Each structure stands twice: as structure tokens, then as C-alpha cells.
Structure 1
Amino acid sequence: MADRRRINGPVGTTLPPIFDRPSPPRDRVENPENAIRKIFLKTGVTPSASGSAYLELESPNMTSPSNTSLKLTCTVHGPRALPRSAPFSPHIILTTHVKYAPFATKQRRGYLRDSSERDLGVHLETALRGAIIADRWPKSGADIIVTIIEGDQDRNAPENQRDDCWDMMNVLSGCITVASAAIADAGIDCVDTVAGGVAALVAKDATSSPSIVLDPAVADYHKIHAACCIAYLPTRDEVTNIWFKGQLPGADVMLYNNMVERALIACRNANRVVVTALKKTINAEQEAS
């Protein structure tokens, strides 16, 4: 039996990735605070899977490639019939599996999933369930496997630096985006392409006042007070999952709403990359046929 979780190498030659920054509307071009890091997204990277995708974020400091970056790969297996012994289900059953590679972070990861990886899997399943038309495949199942090749951490940070796992927000956002592209590549019907986005309340140094930024690179800021990760369906204008972490000064509701609105901007920017990657895949298949 073939190992469905093994990442197979490319069949042919490979080329270095070319990052594609999503083009924001004209009223946001001159505002760098509304921009996210450059994203490289490609579908169909694993021929043995029903659908697959690879996502990579540009390192904020290109002169030091060992700094923070994010590399994810996702494979989708299914839909396929459930065993006869399984109870009847009127909708498709999703199984999400998120796993860090042992070398993905500064501290080496184990081969068994820990609590943080299980939490990422639960959030990913919630985000995707709102996008898939589940009643199209009764008594069927689909496995969505996301492998984190490189986490969004600063590998040059000192050992005594406190780690509050803020990088998990960017990891979850990338997992949602790459899984959405892989699901579309597998031909599973969805109401819309779901995309992930992150907004955070950060302080650039010890003396500056906190401000809200999009797609924060943890290594670039002195402190992160709070962060919000959202899974969003742009066409339907619906939110399928929200994960908020941290504390806002004075429990300011207006500040929370502002963070959510900024996270939605990041989701719209990431969705443009997903749509562009899927269009390129369709055009390539049409040219090949």
C-alpha cells in the first residue's frame, strides 16, 4: 500500500519560485500598511494525490535567507467512499492533518503530532467546512494533509528569547490558503475559495506605541500584543473561522473591530493569489490538451 503522506519529489525539472505579489486596488497601492508579503502558490505539485498545492512566503529580509519564511505543501486525497462498516453520513467527512516537519522550526519537532499541531488541524477543518458543498458526496471522505516544511520563525533569535507561538497565526493563515487551492485542484465543489489573513497589534520598539499591521513577521517587531487570524470567503462575504490571541489595551472593542477589518484585507489579497494560481493551472491544462 502506498504511503499517502509521503511527499514525492517532482517528476521533471524544477525552476526557482517567482514570487507574485497580489495587486491591490488603486486606493491601496500607496499605503504599504495594506500590503502583505509576496506569495508563491502553485497547484498540482503532487501527481499521486487528487489535488495538491505548494505555498511559500517571501522572507522579509532577503539578504539573510535563514531568517523567517513560511513554506507549506498540501495534498488532498478523495473524495472516496467510506468503509461499509462506517455509519451513514449525508455529507462528506473531512479529515485534516497538520504536521510540522522535524526541521521546520528552530527546535526540532517530534514525529508525533503535539497539541499545537492538533489545534491547527481543528481550526483548518472549521475554516474549510464552511466553503465545501458537503452534501454533494454522501457517505464519502476526504483527507487534507498539510506539511509545514519551514515555519515562520526567526532562526537567528537567541535561545533565551521568549516564544509565545505568535508564528502559529501566520502558519494557520498559510494552511487555509494552500488547502483551499489544493481542494480546488482536486475538483471538490466549493461555494467560494477560502483564504486566510492575519492582522496583529505590534510595537516596533520599546518606545513606540502599538499599531496594527498585516501579515506580521514576528522577527521584525519588538513585541506583539494581539493577533487575529481569519478565514474568509470574499465572494460571499462570509467568515468561516476566527482565531484571536492576546490582550488588547483596555479591552477596546473598536480596536478589535479594526483588527478584524484589516485581517479581511489580508484575506482578499491572498485570495487574489489563489484565483491567479488556479487560472494559470486551467490555462496550462487547456494548452496541454
Structure 2
Amino acid sequence: MADRRRVNGPVGPTAPPVYNTAAHKPIAKEKADNSIRKIFLKTGVTPSASGSAYLELEDPKANSPSSTSLKLTCTVHGPRALPRSAPFSPHIILSTHVKYAPFATKQRRGYLRDSSERDLGVHLETALRGAIIADRWPKSGVDIIVTIIEGDQDRNAPENKSDEGWDMMNVLSGCITVASAAIADAGIDCVDTVAGGVAALVARQPNSPPAIVLDPAVSEYHKVFAACCVAYLPTRDEITNIWFKGQLPGADSMLYNRMVERSLVACRNANRVVITALNETVRPGKESA
């Protein structure tokens, strides 16, 4: 009697098919040094939250096995009243929480926040506090939770290659931008939309001179000397937070000013994406210019 639960294999030997993908593989375009990667931003992705947003950076080498990208999601809960036992506050209490998913980076992350995640939360709170009109909600609180689904790292980098944490600059920039869109989606009054931008001093080849680039993908460059992440209010022309990391050659102050100015260019480009996403939320079905 034949076993009907058993799937019988083929009688003779078989060979797996081999596909020649080299002839059909499109050529990836390299990102220009004076432009940022394309950003996908969508609000209202979490119906249970007061406001939410999802951000994803386009991978310049999507067909490369060592490709990197950045995927973030943000949820805003509040404003809501603080407990009766809490002391009176004349302004809103802002609470930011940034957490990597366990599978977001090459090294598996723990379930408790480490020092880098706490640093990202502090910088994010500083960047957003300058944009929110806090005195509109006395004795109230709002929770802003950012989850990093995929970090901006090279997953196929060799084990002996040191990770100096340069990808945290791009992560913070994305956290600021996606949190700004989620806050606007929650209907919280702000003086302006805040956007994040990054500029870095890098060397593309071992013998090439250092150059300032916008929105650097760390895996594309031989060495990163310094990086600057800025949170910027374009309409008010104000900076709410600056995070500078690295060392400039010769301690050149003019070079530092140039890096900040280039970061502002990246902020303005990211702010256009935020405005477009918010316009699409307000006017669904009508494409914004």
C-alpha cells in the first residue's frame, strides 16, 4: 500500500538550474557627492498611534551583495495627561526612545538599550524640543518611539574591519526627519518642520585627498575623517542640534564651517521630502508638485 503522506522524489539524478544574471544585471548608479540619497517617507502607517511615519533611504547599490540601506519607523503617543502624582509642568514633557531591532545591524542587538541608543535618544530629544510649541500642553506628556528596522551598515564587511560608529550619524539624521513627520501627523503644534542632514569629510581611495560629501554611505569610502549631523528648521533658519564627530586635519575652523553649511544643504533637501509627504497626507489622491 502506498504512503499518501510521503512525497516521492524523482527516480533519476537532478541538477539545480543555473541562471546567468550577469548579462541582465542593471548597472547601479553612484550617488553624486553633492546630493543625498532618495528618501521614501510615508505617514499614518500605524493606525493605533496618534501619529506615525516610515522612512527608507534608497540604496545606491541595490544589486550589490554588500548593499546598505536605512529603514526607520516612528510612532507618537500623545499628548496625554500626566499622572496626578506627577509634579506640575507648565510645558509638555517630551520623551524619546530610540531602539535598534535585534536584526538591524551586523551584530545582533540586545533587548535593552545600550549607550549608543541612549545617545541617539538624547540627541533626538534636543533636536525636537526646539520645534515643538511646548507651552500649548501644560502638565502633559508625549512619547516618541523610533525603531531602527535596518541600520546603515555594510553587513558583508570583514570581521577584522573596525566599526567606528559613523553610521550613527545617518541614523540620527533619519530619526530626526521621520520623527518630525510623525509629530506633524499627530497634530502637535510646531514652529516649523525639523529635518536632519549629514555631511562628512571622506577619502574615496587610499591616495585621494579628503573631500566633503553629503549623506555619506560609509561602505562606499575608504576612510571617514569627520562627520557632522545637524537638525535644522528651514523656515526659521535655526539649528536645534549639532553633533560633530571625528578630527579635522590641522584643526581647521573654516573646514568645520563648510561641513556645517553642507549639512544644512542636506537638511533642506530632506525637508522637501517631509513637506511633500505631509501634503500627500492632507490631500490624498492628489499628487503634490
**How many angstroms apart in 2 are the aligned matches of 1:114 and 1:263?**
27
* Paired AA for residue 168 in structure 2: M
Change (3 A) 1:65 1:40: farther
Conservation of the 8 A alpha-carbon contact between 2:65 and 2:156:
no
Give 1:122-133 correspondences, 5 Å limit. 122-133=122-133
| 1:149-172 CA-partner distances (Å, limit 9, x unpaired) | 000000111011011000000000
Please state how far the C-alpha of 1:286 moved relative to its aligned partner. Answer: 9.4
**How many angstroms apart in 1 are the aligned matches of 2:121 and 2:188?**
19
Conservation of the 8 A alpha-carbon contact between 1:177 and 1:194:
yes
Conservation of the 8 A alpha-carbon contact between 1:34 and 1:265:
no
Equivalenced residues, count: 257
| 1:243-265 CA-partner distances (Å, limit 9, x unpaired) | 00000000000000000000000
SS in 1 for 2:182: helix
Please state how far the C-alpha of 1:32 moved relative to its aligned partner. Answer: 3.7
Give the percent of matched residue pairs that are identical in Structure 1 and Structure 2: 85
Structure 2 counterpart of 1:89:
89
Are residues 1:116 and 2:116 paired?
yes
Conservation of the 8 A alpha-carbon contact between 2:74 and 2:147:
yes
Are residues 1:43 and 2:25 paired?
no
Structure 2 counterpart of 1:215:
215
Conservation of the 8 A alpha-carbon contact between 1:53 and 1:178:
yes
Structure 2 counterpart of 1:174:
174
Are residues 1:224 and 2:231 paired?
no
| 1:47-89 CA-partner distances (Å, limit 9, x unpaired) | 0000000000011202126521000000000000000000000
> Which consecutive unaligned segments of at least 5 residues does structure 2 have?
1-30
**How many angstroms apart in 2 are the aligned matches of 1:147 and 1:272?**
23
> Which consecutive unaligned segments of at least 5 residues does structure 1 have?
1-30
SS in 2 for 1:33: coil
Give 1:257-276 correspondences, 5 Å limit. 257-276=257-276
**How many angstroms apart in 2 are the aligned matches of 1:154 and 1:33?**
19
Give 1:138-177 correspondences, 5 Å limit. 138-177=138-177
**How many angstroms apart in 2 are the aligned matches of 1:96 and 1:258?**
30
**How many angstroms apart in 2 are the aligned matches of 1:285 and 1:36?**
27
**How many angstroms apart in 2 are the aligned matches of 1:58 and 1:65?**
15
Structure 2 counterpart of 1:206:
206
Conservation of the 8 A alpha-carbon contact between 2:203 and 2:224:
yes
Give the TM-score taking structure 1 as reference length: 0.87
| 1:103-128 CA-partner distances (Å, limit 9, x unpaired) | 00000000000000000000000000
Structure 2 counterpart of 1:135:
135
Which has the greater radius of gyration? 2
Structure 2 counterpart of 1:106:
106
Structure 2 counterpart of 1:183:
183
Conservation of the 8 A alpha-carbon contact between 2:106 and 2:153:
yes
Change (3 A) 1:257 1:69: same
- Of Structure 1 and Structure 2, the greater helix share is in 1
Structure 1 counterpart of 2:195:
195
Change (3 A) 1:65 1:283: farther
* Paired AA for residue 279 in structure 2: K
Give the TM-score taking structure 2 as reference length: 0.87
Please state how far the C-alpha of 1:94 moved relative to its aligned partner. Answer: 0.4
Please state how far the C-alpha of 1:34 moved relative to its aligned partner. Answer: 2.4
**How many angstroms apart in 2 are the aligned matches of 1:264 and 1:86?**
39
Please state how far the C-alpha of 1:228 moved relative to its aligned partner. Answer: 0.1
**How many angstroms apart in 2 are the aligned matches of 1:186 and 1:44?**
9
Instruction: Point out 4+ residue stretches in structure 1 off by more than 2 angstroms.
Output: 31-34
Structure 2 counterpart of 1:77:
77
| 1:260-280 CA-partner distances (Å, limit 9, x unpaired) | 000000000000000000000
**How many angstroms apart in 1 are the aligned matches of 2:115 and 2:207?**
35
Structure 2 counterpart of 1:240:
240
**How many angstroms apart in 1 are the aligned matches of 2:58 and 2:97?**
24
**How many angstroms apart in 2 are the aligned matches of 1:274 and 1:228?**
21
* Paired AA for residue 282 in structure 1: V
Conservation of the 8 A alpha-carbon contact between 1:42 and 1:55:
yes
